[in-house]
Structures are given as structure tokens and as C-alpha cells.
Structure 1
Amino acid sequence: MESVLLIHNALGIHEILRHLIFLPSQEVISMILAMWSGGKDSAMAFYRASKLYKIDRLVCMIKNGETRAHRLKESILRRQSEAMGIEIVFGRYDENFEEILKSVFRSNEAEKVVFGDIYLEHHRNWIERVCKELGIEAIFPLWGENTKKLAEDIAREFNAIVIAVRKNFKDILGRRFDEEVIEYLLKKNADPCGENGEFHTIVVDGPIFKKPIEVTIGKHFEDEKYYYLEVL
């Protein structure tokens, strides 16, 4: 009690309150992450989100050393992140994709995560459920945009190469994603952004890169549904 009175007499009640209110608190570290596939949609989502937020890390989910849809190797994804000047972390999964994804978000202390989804409601609902369970804000910079306009914006901003196609779109495999490819897709009644899995790309240059990445196109290969180009 005596010590409290001494402080009161020395500082006055207003000074005491001021010191109590403005005591420095321990800083809470939180991260803004961006999902990364190596392709055009994740690149455009990153680009738009980076105008509003400082993104700390890329997150890429891989299986057997490569991305599931694009079939890009980990070494290529690291090459992209180095050219962007940002760290990339990987979630390595076999069966339990959701739990591994949650583990990556937790271990990186995510506060917000950027996603490249455009209009698939069921996938957005799944993402929002996963993020809500972890207290994370999901950010969708491309959501609801007209995909023709979005495709044109991407083609203008980024140098992207088509590296995987459903077999009925084989004519565009290996081509730069540009206005001619967009027109080809529209004539085939396909989504020009490939939101339904019509094709996938790798981005090798654009405004998010400090320098272009150099890649070599290797062998062609295929599975039941897709033709692919190996990227080295």
C-alpha cells in the first residue's frame, strides 16, 4: 500500500493511468499466406492481394514431389518463389489432404490466406469451413469475376505456358496463354480460365517476379484424362 501511495504522490493519478494504458504488449506474430500452384490463377490472386497486404509466404500442396493438377516438380516451384523473392512452404500429403493443409496453416501461424478460386461454390464453401475452424480469414481476389475479362487480364500481365490439357484441348498444349488461346477456348465452349479443369499453366514471368524464370520443356506424357508437358 505504501509503495502505491509513493507512486501516486510522485506521478499523479493521470500519469499512472497513462503508464498502465501504454505499457508495451508482447507482439503477436501472424502470417498472411497465399496458396500457390505455379499457374496463372494463383499468380493473379497473389498479384491482386499483394496490393492490399504484405504476403509472407506461399503455400503449395504436393504429392510424390509434384503438384497434383499441374504436375510441376518442387524444384520448379522453388525457382518461382526465388524469382518472386518470397519463401515457399510445402504440404506433403497422401490421403488426408485437409488435415495436412490445416497443419501447414497452423505451423505457419496464418491469420489470412489468399486463394485463387473464381466461381466454384462447393470448393469455396470447403475452404471457408476449413479456415473458419482455424480462425483464419480466407481471401478470394478473383471471386465472381467474368472469366473472359479475367483471362484477358492474366494474358496481358503474365507470361504463362499451357502445360496440361484435357485431351479434347490438345491443340493448345505448349502454347503461351494469350488472346488466341482464349478465343480457341471460347469457340470450344470452354471456360477461358480453365476453372473446370480444362487446362493448366505455368507462369514464368510477370509483375510479381523480380526476374523471369528459365524452364525447359521436356517429354510429353499422359494419363486417362490429360496430356502433359514435363517442365524442367
Structure 2
Amino acid sequence: MNLAALFSGGKDSTYSIFEAKNRGHAIKCLVTILASSDDSHLLHHPNVGLASLQAKSMKIPQITISAKSSNTESELESLREALSAAKKDYQIEGIVHGGILSEFQKTKFEGVAKDLGLHVVSPLWKKNQTQYMHLLLDSGFEFIITSVSADGLDKSWLGKKITKDDLVKLEQLSEKHKFNLSFEGGEAETFVVNCPLFSGPIEIQDSSIYWDGYRGRFEIVRAKIKDNAG
């Protein structure tokens, strides 16, 4: 099927593209909705503006629309507008959704897709979180943590590229503090810096960390696609 991928630049939306392609689907374009604030219940917020760099590295066209507010209906209207454009310009038949557990998000996206006559492909839905996180690293996905907002996740995780050893620590913290290991509940956000889909890795050249004692974010100020040649 010809699909548009709902894309935020995080691990789940990126891996769902990888999985959909492995299943034989064609990803004709990416659809990115820029949340108006981090109050959104539907959209990924930190560093989503840099998803354009990842799209360029994947060599997939991207449709980007800024949501007018953090109101869910307003965000869904922006999504409907973007998917209508994708259907017209790229003849898509469905969308790829990278959700794992959020019934709220899945139901909202399915409603928009149904209105537009589009199928929904959800490659990660109900996946075992521990197996999935290991699969990400085993598949060559490199990602950093760009926000934290849960007990057990402190400032030291911001900007950290997750390794196998880090994953063991995260499993222990997840068990102790009862947060979702995959961060599906918004406990943390991620940004993919390299994966098998990329023509070159994303090199972060400048960044800032904001921390209020409980929650924080890693903001990428400047980045580029690193030339793999030589």
C-alpha cells in the first residue's frame, strides 16, 4: 500500500516506517504536525521542527503543518488538512501510526483516517515494550532522550544516546518507579540521530538543557546531516 507516515522524529514514528517498509508498504511521504506547545495530549513536541532534517536524510518528502492551538480538535483538523494534501499529491491509501498503547491517540487518528477513506497501519501496537526497546538497538537505531517528566528520570538522561547498558538501567528504573519503558505515557521523548533508513546520521552541533528540578528538555539548537563519505 502507498502510505503517509505520521512522523515526529522520535523512535516510535521512525521505527514504524522501518517496519512498514519491511512489510512491503511504500512510504510516499511524511506528515508532521508541529504542536503549538508541550501541553498537547496528541502530538510530540520537543525538537519536532528538526524532523525535516531526518526526512531529508531518509529522502522522503514531508508535509508539515503547524497546529493553531494545543486543543485536540484543532490538532486533528491540522492532521486532516495534511492528510488531504498527502492523498491528493502522493495518492496515499493509508497512514502509518507509531503508537504502542495509547487508545486515545489511536482512536483519534483512526477517526480522521476513516473520514478520508484511508487505512491505518500500526506496526508497534501492543508490542512488548522490553522486547521492542531491545529490537530498536539491535536494528541499528540510535536515539537520544530529549525530554523527561517522570520519577526516576533525572537531568542526567537529557541528551543521552541510549546504549544497551542504559537500557538495562532504564528497565530497572521502569520497574522501580512504574513508568512505561517505551515512554508511551509521555514519561520521556526521543529523537533519532541515526538508523538504517538514513543516508547519513544527524550530527548535533549546538544544544541547550532546561531543567526545573523534576522535568526537563534537551533542545537541539543546531544540527546537520553528517556526510558519510570518508
Normalised by the length of structure 2, the TM-score is: 0.80
CA contact (8 A) 1:45 1:115 kept: yes
Structure 1 unpaired stretches of 5+: 1-29
2:100 equivalent to 1:118: yes
In our comparison, the structure showing a higher alpha carbon Rg is 1
Shift in CA distance, 223/70, structure 1 to aligned 2, threshold 3 Å = farther
Aligned partners of 2:32, 2:213: CA distance in 1, in Å? 24
Cα RMSD after superposing both structures: 2.3
Shift in CA distance, 217/166, structure 1 to aligned 2, threshold 3 Å = farther
Structure-to-structure mapping, 1:90-109, within 5 angstroms? 90-95=64-69, 96-109=74-87
Amino acid at match of 1:79: L
Identical-pair percentage:
25
2:21 equivalent to 1:50: yes
Shift in CA distance, 72/223, structure 1 to aligned 2, threshold 3 Å = farther
Structure-to-structure mapping, 1:52-201, within 5 angstroms? 52-64=24-36, 69-72=44-47, 74=49, 76-95=50-69, 96-109=74-87, 110-156=92-138, 157-166=140-149, 168=151, 169-170=153-154, 171-188=156-173, 189=175, 190-201=179-190
Shift in CA distance, 148/131, structure 1 to aligned 2, threshold 3 Å = same
Shift in CA distance, 212/108, structure 1 to aligned 2, threshold 3 Å = same
CA contact (8 A) 1:61 1:90 kept: yes
Runs of 4+ in 1 over 6 A off after TM superposition: none
How far apart are 1:211 and its partner, in Å?
1.2
Normalised by the length of structure 1, the TM-score is: 0.79
How far apart are 1:196 and its partner, in Å?
0.8
Shift in CA distance, 112/155, structure 1 to aligned 2, threshold 3 Å = same
SS at match of 2:27: coil
The number of residue pairs the alignment matches comes to 202
CA contact (8 A) 2:10 2:190 kept: yes
More divergent stretch after superposition (210-219 vs 99-108):
210-219
